[in-house]
Structure 1
């Protein structure tokens, strides 16, 4: 029973896009590992950009700086 966790920032991802991620991950596990889709679980975690950091700063700070450039 595979469990896939996809972590993304909470920046306007639509329900349709999430459904595409769930479907795509499920199909990939079926194709590559021959896993039964009925037993495949996909979790999507949306994380605030304040709680996602890269290169020593939050994504929120990086995005604000990019807007000013």
Structure 2
């Protein structure tokens, strides 16, 4: 859900090959993009579509997501 995006949250890649963890640096509700950084280093600023950020690692039909980023547990 887009309503749950807040600065400081950490997301992990849904790609089965892995990928970098990202941290939300800045997000204004209603915007289409969020500013993110590498969670480990705090570098590599970039924008990402908020539609690529997910709360659940599974889709509506129960399959594992293969694209985008999922919110890490406890966030």
TM-score category, normalised to shorter length: under 0.3
TM-score normalised according to structure 2 size: 0.23
More helix by share: 1
